[in-house]
Amino acid sequence: MHRAWWVALVILGALVAAAGFRSSTGALLEPLESEFGWSRATTSGAVTANLVIYGITAPFAAALMERFGLRRVVSLALVLVAVGSGLTTVMTAPWQLWVLWGVFVGVGAGAMALVLGAIVANRWFVESRRGLVTGVFSAAGAAGQLVFLPGIAALASGPGWRWSALVVTGAALLLVPLVLLVVRDRPADLGLRPLGAQPGEPLDEPATRHTGSQVGPARLAVRTLRASTRSRTFWVLFGTFWICGWSTNGLIGTHFIPAAHDHGMPETTAAGLLALIGVFDLVGTIASGWLTDKVDPRLLLCGYYGFRGLSLLFVPALLGPDIHPNLFIFIVFYGLDWVATVPPTIALCRRHFGVARSGVVFGWVFAAHMVGAGVAASYAGWVRQSTGDYFTAWLTAGGLCLFAALACLAISRSPERGAWNAEGEDAEVGAVA
């Protein structure tokens, strides 16, 4: 087996561990409120801090990986997640929740966000296989829900929510030695070519090396952002991914369990449904990665956002104390579409900004995703506290997704030309397209 698959397997495990605690917040809101007497606005605010810091970390983490390598950054990120998760077991005040969920877990998980999967796919696999590999990495978030969420909800309802936090701590720490042992920054470090490369090709594809990799990570991230903002495509991807985060992590990921509980559904049942979304997302996102290698990514995004928006408009009529067929159909449909937007978005970043810059560019696009999620988490919490239900939050998310579907059609089919393309990179950008 090519070493690329071993690297991909360990990185997949890291992504799953990071997603595990990220997905647990929805199951822990009510237990925390019950024990400490905190309001929904307080706990939702901590989730917002987590999501925003998680997203803003991504572009700087991508630059750090360019500068210091994958192994160092991922290992440190896993330790941060373990520390942040473990220390929640001894917290006593809301500000401690904000610091631990927001800063420690936010920064650690943000360093292992989807940007990590995009960088590994770019370095270890040839272009014809990157879409499928990116789809697999994107599904890791769903796998985190699948693996952790039912157990986290059961522990929170039984022995207590502290056991849930300790499970994530242990899983993150166990992965650190695997990362140090297996992961290498590039195939050339082991005298290998990327998976799928033909004999005789260079060991290291020059296009995967960022021309600014020797500058400081912060400067590299900011410089890439400044250049990318001159592109219309960047702003469309930035805005639509902001809406993507609003409608997934921010609303469904954070508030689905308490919203279902408002309608009389047990929390463990709601957590099981959210995990089931993760099961179908594994299928949907991997299929989306395969389609991205064959279909215009713009059209895929238009379809994904459009169908997601329509499905969200029906949620208020579907929730109830029991699982009926219409609700199950929504779970299946929404699961297939959960993060199917990721592979075509990454592909458009490569097409319009080049392989070398796509990791950092997608980092900024992903930052918009998580800021949107953070705003939605607080907005939905405010709607619930002020009106007594989530009806307005569902309608808002559905409308935003329909707008995003139309916005994707404004992306040009061929790569734009401009200052964001470095000298000598035009040919490489065109080749990716």
Tokens of 86: 């473990």
Q: Determine the pLDDT at residue 216.
A: 60
Range of 39-48, 70-79, 98-107, 402-411 with top mean pLDDT: 402-411
Q: pTM higher than 0.85, yes or no?
A: no
Q: Encoding tokens for residue 386? A: 């002020």
pLDDT tens per residue across span 122-166: 888 877 677 778 777 777 766 666 667 777 777 877 788 888 788
Per DSSP, 165 falls in state H
* Residue 398, CA distances (Å) to 31, 251, 306 in order: 29, 11, 9
Assigned token pair, 248: 């997934």
Q: How high does pLDDT run on average in the chain?
A: 81
Q: How many CB atoms lie within 10 A of CB 317?
A: 12
- Is a pLDDT exceeding 90 seen at residue 336? no
Q: So what's the pLDDT on residue 244? A: 93
Residue 243's pLDDT band (boundaries 50, 70, 90)?
very high
Class of domain 217-422: mainly alpha
Torsion of CA 252, 145, 6, 53, to 10 degrees: 50
- CA angle, residues 65, 192, 428, in degrees to nearest 5: 65
Q: What is the CATH number of domain 3-190?
A: 1.20.1250.20
pLDDT in tens, 368-403: 988 898 899 889 989 988 888 899 999 999 999 999
4-19 pLDDT tens trace: 888 888 888 888 877 7
Q: What is the DSSP string of 68-83?
A: H-HHHHHHHHHHHHHH
> Per-domain residue ranges for the chain?
3-190, 217-422
Give which of 392, 384, 390 is closest to 42, Cα–Cα. 384
**pLDDT for 186 beyond 60:** yes
Confidence of residue 219 (pLDDT cuts 50, 70, 90): confident
Q: In CATH terms, are 3-190 and 217-422 the same topology?
A: yes
Q: Does residue 411 contact residue 298 with C-beta atoms inside 8 Å?
A: yes
DSSP lists the bridge partners of residue 125 as: 195
Task: Say if residues 356 and 63 touch (Cβ distance below 8 Å).
Answer: no
Share of the chain above pLDDT 70, in %: 87
Please state which of the ranges 171-185, 236-250, 293-307, 352-366 shows the lowest mean pLDDT. Answer: 352-366
Residues 6+ apart with CB under 8 A from 131: 289, 290, 291, 292, 293, 343, 347
CA distances from 227 to 143, 223, 224, 230, 250 (A): 35, 6, 5, 6, 29
Tokens of 217: 């990570």
Residue type present at position 96 = Q
- Rounded CA separation 46/28 (Å): 12
- Of residues 55 and 229, which shows the higher confidence score? 229
N- to C-terminal Cα separation, the chain: 30
Q: What percent of the chain has pLDDT over 90?
A: 14
Longest dimension (CA), the chain: 66
| Residue 214 binned pLDDT confidence (cut-offs 50, 70, 90) | low
Can you tell me the mean pLDDT for 312-340? Answer: 85
